[in-house]
C-alpha cells in the first residue's frame, strides 16, 4: 500500500459520484529509478471507469520538485482493478502507477504497486451480534471495565482512537516452541516482532464495530511513526464490542498471494482471533491499562498454527479509568523485609504526606560498578485510592502542601510505585576522538510497600520486567527498595531523597544484580516558598541592573557632551566590548521579543506570563543600552579625526588591541581545551533539579567566557591610558562605577545566596551560569578584579595613565612624542 491511499479514496469518490477526472498526490517515499523525489509529486489525471469490470484507467501529467530545485514533469498512467460501489472484508483494490517516460529520462520513475482496502459503502460481513460467541470462544471472563466506564461520555470511535489505535502493545509469546509456531502464516521469520500496533479503517459508533489493520513490528519506536505497509506482517480484520464480557473481539485475515506481485493479492485465511479488554484490577505483576491476546482457530497439526500471544499496552492511561483498583499482594514479604521504625522523642519532624506532590520525584541512579543513569518514580496508588498528582504546577504549590497547626502522627500507608530507569553509558572514544554512544538500557520496576509519614521512610518490594529470547517476558520480584525522604521543614538529609535498590537473591542467581544508590532533590513547601520568593527577587534585580546600565551610559553621554575634548581619550575597544555584551542576549534570544516559545518537556512553574514579561523587559533595556553604547562609540570614533593628537591616540588604540586580542583569543582556546578534556574524561549527568539533568555544552562555556570579558571591560581603557599616558577624565565616575557594580553584583549575590532551596533549570534569572563563570573561587576573584580595575581608572585619571607602571618601565617623553610628529 502506498502512502497516497487517502488521496486515492478521494479520487475514487470523485469518480464514482462525480466527474471522471481528479488529482492524485503521490508521496515522496516511492523509490524512483533516476530522479530523487524529495517532495510529493502531483498528478492531474483523466480517464474512464468501467462499472461492469470494475477497472479504472487514467492518464495524466504532473509536477515534482527535486531537492536541488529542479522541476520535473512526470507523465503516468494509473490502473486500478476491482473497484465496486460496495465493499466487504474480502474486497481489495489493486493496481499500478506506471511512468510513460523513457527509462533514461529524468522524469521516469519505477512502477508503483498499489494495494488498498476500499472504504466506500463498506459492509461488515464476518462479525455480527450472532457471531460474538463464536469469535470469543478463546477468551475468558476476566473482570473488565464496561464500555460506558471507558467511554466517559465520548463516542465509541473517538475513545478507541485515542486509547487503542494510537497505542503500541508489547508482545509476550506463550509456549512458542519453534519459530514456525509463533506467528500467523506459513513462513518463518528470523526476528520475532516485539510489538504490534492497531489502526482503524472503518468504525461505527452505533453498532460498536471496527475494521482494523494489525501490524507486527520488531521495534517499538518504528511502530509509533512508521506508516510503511508490509502485507506479510499485516493482518486485516473486523471487530465488535461484547457487552457481556466487556471485550473487543476481532476476527483477522491475511493477505494472500503477495510473494511476487500484488496484482493477484486477495484477503483470506480468516482464522486468527483477537480479544482486547480494559482490566479493572492492577497488581505488582500487572499494571497494563489495556490487555489482550491473539490466537488461532486452527489445530496444532494445521499449517499456520501458532501458540497464543499476549499483548499489553506500553503507555499508562490510569487517569482515563478513574475506577481502577489496585490489589496489594506482597503484604507478607513487606512485613518481613520492612520493619516499622520507632519514632524518637525528639524526632518530631514533618515529612511529605502520602498524597502530596512530594511523593513523585526524579532521581539520579548510580550502580556499584560506576554506571550512572536517571529515572523517575511515580506513585500509582495510596491505600485504595489512585495517586492523582500527575503534574507539578504553580497552583499546586499552594494547594498540595497544607500547613498543619501543630505536629501529629500521620501513620503508615500502603503505596505502590512505577519506577523507570535509563542507564547512560559513557561515550567510547575512537582513534579519531569521535564518540559513539551506546543505546540506553532501561529498567522498569513496579513496586508496592509501606510509606511511614512519621519517619519519611519508604520500603517496597519490586518486580522488574526482563526481556528474554523469543520475546518471552518474565518478571524478577526479588527486589527491595528503600528510600528516605527529606523533612518538609529543615534541611536534614541534605535536602535530598536518598535510597537504594538492591536484589535480595543469592549472588549466584542469574537474576542477581549489585545494589543501586539513588538520590533526588527533595521538594517541599518551605523550599517552594523560598524558590518563588527568590524568583521574584532575581527578576527585580535584573530589571534594576539593566536600568542602572542605561542610566550609567546616559550619564557618560552627558559627560561627553559637556566635555567634548575628553571624548577622544575613550577606548574604542572598551566600547565595542560593552556594546557586544548588550547585543549578545538580543541575538541569542531574539524570538523573546515577539513570541513565547515553550518547548521544554517538563515545566516546574506555570507563572501566567510573568517570566515572559521579564524576558521582554530585559531585551528592551538591552536594546536601549546597546543603542546608547553605539552612539558613544560613534561619537568617540568621529572625534578622533577632529582631534590634533589623533595619530597618537590611534597608536595607543592599536597597541591596546594588539595586547587584548591575543589575550582574549588565548583565553577562548583554553576554555575549549578544558571543555574537550572534560568531555574525554567522562560524561556524567549531574542532577541540578528533580526535573532535569543538565550538562554544560561548549556554547555555554563560550558564553560564560564572554561574560568574563565583559566583567573586565575596563582593561582596554587601562591599557589605552598607559599607552597614551593620558590623565584626562574620559570616563565619568558614575559610568565606570555604575557599570562595575552591575558586573560584580551577580557574583556577590551568588556568594550570599543560600543554596538550601531547589534550583531548577530555567530559573537562573539573575546569576545565570550560562552567561558567566559562577563558583566560590570565581565569585571572589571577579569582584576583586572589577573593583581593582575601577580603582586603577580613578588613579590614572588623577595622576596619569602610567602612574601604576614602575618608573623604569614608563614611556619616555621623547618616545611619547614620536607618533605625533608629522611624516614630513
**DSSP labels for 378-439?**
EEEEETTEE-------HHHHHHSS---SS-----EEEEEEEEEEEEEPPPEE-TT--EEPPP
State the pLDDT at residue 689.
Answer: 35
Torsion, Cα 179 184 190 193, to 10 degrees, reads: -110
Angle 226-231-234 from CA coordinates, rounded to 5°: 65
Q: Smallest Cα–Cα separation from 274: which of 257, 291, 260, 299?
A: 291
Q: In this structure, are residues 16 and 47 in contact, taking their beta carbons and an 8 Å threshold?
A: no
Nine cell digits for residue 785: 578584579
**Pick from 214-218, 474-478, 656-660, 691-695: least confident:** 691-695
Q: In this structure, are residues 170 and 291 in contact, taking their beta carbons and an 8 Å threshold?
A: no
Confidence bin at 542 (pLDDT 50/70/90) = confident
Q: In this structure, are residues 315 and 167 in contact, taking their beta carbons and an 8 Å threshold?
A: yes
Residue 226 or 705, more confident: 705
Q: Smallest Cα–Cα separation from 33: which of 84, 98, 86, 95?
A: 98
Neighbours of 311 (CB within 10 A): 22
Nine cell digits for residue 460: 517496597
State the pLDDT at residue 462.
Answer: 95
Q: Smallest Cα–Cα separation from 801: which of 668, 656, 673?
A: 656
Q: In this structure, are residues 308 and 293 in contact, taking their beta carbons and an 8 Å threshold?
A: yes
Average pLDDT over residues 732-747: 90
- Mean pLDDT for the chain? 75
Query: DSSP assignment, residue 104?
Result: T
Average pLDDT over residues 483-496: 67
Q: In this structure, are residues 338 and 459 in contact, taking their beta carbons and an 8 Å threshold?
A: yes
Confidence bin at 87 (pLDDT 50/70/90) = confident
The DSSP H or E segment spanning 461 is strand 457-467
State the pLDDT at residue 450.
Answer: 95
State the pLDDT at residue 655.
Answer: 92
Q: How far apart are CA 47 and CA 555, in angstroms?
A: 80
Q: Smallest Cα–Cα separation from 746: which of 706, 773, 777?
A: 773
**Sign of the dihedral through C-alpha 715, 718, 722, 723:** positive
Residue 812 backbone phi and psi in degrees, to 5: -75, 155
Neighbours of 632 (CB within 10 A): 21
For the segment 490-518, what is each residue's pLDDT rounded down to a tens digit?
444 446 788 999 999 998 988 888 889 99
Q: How far apart are CA 472 and CA 409, in angstroms?
A: 46
- pTM (two decimals): 0.60
Q: How far apart are CA 680 and CA 678, in angstroms?
A: 5
Residues near 451 by beta carbon (within 8 Å), at least 6 away in sequence:
354, 359, 382, 412, 413, 415, 457, 458
State the pLDDT at residue 25.
Answer: 44
CA distances from 677 to 26, 137, 256 (A): 50, 65, 59
State the pLDDT at residue 264.
Answer: 83
Query: In the chain, pLDDT over 90 holds for what percent of residues?
Result: 20
Q: In this structure, are residues 420 and 444 in contact, taking their beta carbons and an 8 Å threshold?
A: yes
Confidence bin at 419 (pLDDT 50/70/90) = very high
Nine cell digits for residue 125: 460481513
Q: How far apart are CA 750 and CA 103, in angstroms?
A: 70
Residue 644 pLDDT more than 70?
no
Confidence bin at 129 (pLDDT 50/70/90) = low
**Sign of the dihedral through C-alpha 278, 279, 282, 283:** negative
Amino acid at each position: 500500500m502506498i502512502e497516497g491511499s487517502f488521496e486515492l479514496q478521494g479520487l475514487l469518490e470523485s469518480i464514482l459520484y462525480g466527474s471522471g477526472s481528479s488529482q492524485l498526490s503521490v508521496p515522496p517515499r516511492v523509490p524512483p529509478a533516476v530522479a530523487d523525489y524529495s517532495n510529493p509529486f502531483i498528478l492531474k489525471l483523466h480517464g474512464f471507469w468501467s462499472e461492469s469490470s470494475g477497472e479504472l484507467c487514467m492518464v495524466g501529467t504532473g509536477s515534482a520538485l527535486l531537492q536541488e530545485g529542479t522541476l520535473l514533469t512526470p507523465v503516468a498512467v494509473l490502473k486500478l482493478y476491482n473497484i465496486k460501489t460496495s465493499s466487504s472484508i474480502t474486497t481489495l483494490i489493486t493496481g499500478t502507477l506506471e511512468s510513460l517516460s523513457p527509462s533514461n529520462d529524468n522524469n521516469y520513475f519505477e512502477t508503483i504497486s498499489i494495494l488498498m482496502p476500499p472504504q466506500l459503502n463498506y459492509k461488515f460481513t464476518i462479525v455480527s451480534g450472532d457471531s460474538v460467541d463464536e469469535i470469543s470462544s478463546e477468551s475468558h471472563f476476566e473482570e473488565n471495565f464496561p464500555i460506558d466506564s471507558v467511554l466517559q461520555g465520548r463516542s465509541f470511535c473517538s475513545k478507541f482512537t485515542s486509547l487503542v489505535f494510537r497505542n503500541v502493545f508489547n508482545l509476550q509469546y506463550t509456549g512458542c516452541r519453534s519459530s514456525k509456531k509463533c506467528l500467523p502464516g506459513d513462513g518463518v521469520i528470523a526476528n520475532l516482532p516485539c510489538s504490534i500496533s492497531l489502526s482503524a479503517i472503518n468504525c461505527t459508533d452505533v453498532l460498536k464495530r471496527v475494521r482494523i489493520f494489525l501490524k507486527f513490528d520488531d521495534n517499538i519506536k518504528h511502530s509509533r511513526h512508521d506508516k510503511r505497509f508490509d502485507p506479510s506482517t499485516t493482518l486485516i480484520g473486523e471487530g465488535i464490542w461484547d457487552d457481556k464480557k466487556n471485550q473487543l473481539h476481532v476476527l483477522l485475515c491475511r493477505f494472500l498471494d503477495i510473494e511476487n506481485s500484488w496484482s493477484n493479492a486477495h484477503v483470506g485465511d480468516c482464522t486468527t482471533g483477537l480479544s482486547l479488554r480494559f482490566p479493572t484490577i492492577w497488581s505488582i505483576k500487572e499494571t497494563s491499562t489495556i490487555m489482550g491476546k491473539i490466537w488461532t482457530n486452527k489445530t496444532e497439526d494445521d499449517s499456520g498454527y501458532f501458540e497464543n500471544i499476549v499483548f499489553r499496552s506500553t503507555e499508562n492511561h490510569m487517569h482515563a479509568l478513574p475506577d481502577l483498583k489496585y490489589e496489594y499482594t506482597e503484604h507478607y514479604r513487606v512485613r518481613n523485609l520492612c520493619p516499622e521504625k520507632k519514632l524518637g522523642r525528639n524526632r518530631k519532624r514533618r515529612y511529605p504526606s502520602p498524597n502530596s506532590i512530594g511523593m513523585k520525584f526524579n532521581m539520579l541512579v548510580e550502580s556499584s560498578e560506576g554506571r550512572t543513569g536517571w529515572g523517575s518514580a511515580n506513585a500509582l496508588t495510596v491505600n485504595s485510592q489512585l495517586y492523582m498528582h500527575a503534574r507539578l504546577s504553580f497552583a499546586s504549590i499552594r494547594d498540595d502542601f497544607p500547613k498543619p497547626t501543630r505536629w501529629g502522627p500521620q501513620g503508615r500507608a500502603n503505596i505502590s510505585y512505577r519506577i523507570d530507569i535509563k542507564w547512560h553509558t559513557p561515550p567510547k572514544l575512537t582513534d579519531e576522538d569521535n564518540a559513539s554512544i551506546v543505546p540506553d538500557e532501561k529498567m522498569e520496576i513496579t513496586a508496592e510497600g509501606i510509606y511511614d509519614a512519621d519517619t519519611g521512610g519508604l520500603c517496597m518490594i519490586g518486580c522488574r520486567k526482563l526481556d528474554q529470547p523469543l520475546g518471552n517476558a518474565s518478571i524478577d520480584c526479588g527486589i527491595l527498595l528503600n528510600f528516605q525522604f527529606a523533612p518538609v521543614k529543615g534541611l536534614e538529609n541534605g535536602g535530598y531523597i536518598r535510597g537504594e535498590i538492591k536484589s535480595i537473591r543469592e549472588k549466584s542467581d542469574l537474576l542477581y544484580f549489585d545494589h543501586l544508590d539513588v538520590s533526588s532533590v527533595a521538594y517541599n513547601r518551605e523550599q517552594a516558598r523560598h524558590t518563588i520568593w527568590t524568583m521574584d527577587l532575581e527578576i527585580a534585580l535584573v530589571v534594576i541592573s539593566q536600568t542602572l546600565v542605561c542610566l550609567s551610559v546616559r550619564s557618560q553621554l552627558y559627560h561627553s557632551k559637556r566635555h567634548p575634548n575628553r571624548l577622544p581619550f575613550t577606548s574604542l575597544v572598551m566600547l565595542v566590548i560593552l556594546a557586544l555584551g548588550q547585543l549578545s542576549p538580543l541575538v541569542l534570544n531574539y524570538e523573546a521579543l515577539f513570541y513565547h516559545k515553550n518547548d521544554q518537556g517538563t515545566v516546574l512553574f506555570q507563572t501566567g506570563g510573568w517570566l515572559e514579561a521579564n524576558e521582554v523587559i530585559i531585551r528592551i533595556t538591552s536594546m536601549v543600552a546597546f543603542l546608547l553604547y553605539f552612539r558613544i562609540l560613534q561619537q568617540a570614533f568621529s572625534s578622533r579625526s577632529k582631534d590634533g593628537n589623533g595619530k597618537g591616540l590611534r597608536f595607543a588604540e592599536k597597541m591596546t588591541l594588539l595586547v587584548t586580542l591575543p589575550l582574549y583569543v588565548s583565553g577562548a582556546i583554553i576554555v575549549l581545551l578544558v571543555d574537550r578534556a572534560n568531555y574525554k574524561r567522562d560524561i556524567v549527568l549531574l542532577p541540578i533539579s528533580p526535573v532535569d539533568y543538565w550538562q554544560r555544552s561548549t556554547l555555554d562555556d563560550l558564553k560564560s567566557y564572554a561574560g568574563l570579558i565583559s566583567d573586565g571591560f575596563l582593561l582596554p581603557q587601562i591599557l589605552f591610558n598607559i599607552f597614551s599616558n593620558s590623565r584626562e577624565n574620559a570616563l565619568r565616575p558614575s559610568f565606570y562605577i555604575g557599570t562595575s557594580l552591575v558586573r560584580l553584583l551577580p557574583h556577590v549575590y551568588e556568594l550570599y545566596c543560600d543554596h538550601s532551596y531547589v534550583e531548577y533549570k530555567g530559573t537562573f534569572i539573575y546569576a545565570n551560569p550560562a552567561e558567566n563563570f559562577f563558583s566560590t573561587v570565581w565569585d571572589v576573584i571577579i569582584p576583586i578584579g572589577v573593583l581593582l580595575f575601577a580603582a586603577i581608572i580613578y588613579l590614572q585619571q588623577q595622576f596619569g595613565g602610567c602612574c601604576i607602571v614602575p618608573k623604569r618601565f614608563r614611556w619616555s617623553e621623547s618616545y611619547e612624542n614620536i607618533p605625533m610628529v608629522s611624516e614630513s
